[in-house]
Structure 1
Amino acid sequence: MIQLLFLVLFMEGAVALLLMVKIGPLRELAMKCVDQVKTGKGPATVKTLACTMSVILASSIASILKIQNRGLKLGTVTPMDQVLWRTHLLEASLIGFTLFLAFVIDRLHHYLRKVIILRKTVSTSREEVEKLQKENRCFNEKEQKSSNDIKKLQEDMANLNEKLQKIKSKLEEQETRALSAEAYVAALQKQSEELLLEYDRLLEDNQILQTQALAFRG
């Protein structure tokens, strides 16, 4: 029994050491072993062994107390009782250390599993952050490009407005010239009409003078 407990205690110590200290791929191997123990019928088996060892521990402690009480009553402890007391004390110590190391291994495995999950989550979050940063850079580049395009369009619009103003000025100037030309044409037409009237009047006067001249000759 004691040799078996020493073997179990040594194995548990080795597993706990591998879980605490990363030595190449041995930690992953130890994690896989503990995972297998915690899957399927492993938990029930472990609980059964833990209960059995707890019962043995309680029995050993009871035997130790019984031997101590008997020694107190007798006032002395026989060599046989001393051997039994030391044997039960050693068994109780080994069982206690075994149960404690089993609890430590369970907690180490639990927290290491959480750390692995957190690392995966952090890695995924980091990739998402890098992706978002890349998208943000692309968005900023597109925004800068759009800003440059907007500035270019604004410059084009300003140039077009300037050209439009020039065209408007030319149109207004041409309209002014057209109005002046129309006024000049109208003045010429009026003057032409007045000249025609004057010409008609002169023709009439000429005819009257010719008539008078003929009458005077006759």
Structure 2
Amino acid sequence: MSKSLIPNGLTSMNLVFGMCSIILTFNGNLFWGAVCILLALVADGLDGRSARALNVSSEIGKEMDSLCDLVSFGAAPAMLAYKLQLAEFGILGCVAAVFFALCGMWRLARFNVNTTVVHGYFMGLAIPAGGCLIATSTLLVNSIGYDLKELSYAYPIIVMVVAYLMVSTVHYPDFKGDGEKMNIIAKAVAAIIFMLILWLGRDGIGYAVLFGIFAAYAIFGIVNHSINLLSGNK
């Protein structure tokens, strides 16, 4: 049996979970729709590691990974956000959902062509992080019974801001070695955001932890990159 079947199988599971998420969400099961996006993240994290461990990394594997990521972390979260609340905003909600998927596509395309140029950091929020922000926020608001109508038009704006972060030039640490300087102020801000989310979501603490991780990371990148730009550390 070819060793490449293992990482390719895991990559395929990424797509399977993404499609399951879309189908479940379409049928109104937002909980499992969100969970499937997180399961896709697990599969996405394991495929590259297994390919490197087995020394079977290939170009076709990389292409498969991007195609699967677009479904699982671009289209599936967009559908989830639409069914959760965006549908209430008519054309604006449609625009926000489509914009999220489009930004995910652009983020993946840019990443693929910049692999030999960008090192030590992610340029823009990685699409798995963006997709999981939508998934974990859905799990959290449903678990604590928060009515998103209280946010009014802030929700579609938040979805579009997350989408924009994916195609922005904000530098996010990849935690693989020397890269972006991580400032203590940015770490403190991220820690405060994380603790605030835990407190606000204490009735669904497990989901609050998951959402807090992705939200704090998103905020950390913005603050950290801004500080580095102001201090001349580009």
Common fold: TM-score over 0.5 = no
Q: Which has the higher contact order (CA 8 A, sep 6+)?
A: 1
Higher Rg of the two aligned structures: 1
Q: TM-score, normalised by structure 2?
A: 0.26
- Which has the larger share of helix? 1
Q: TM-score, normalised by structure 1?
A: 0.27
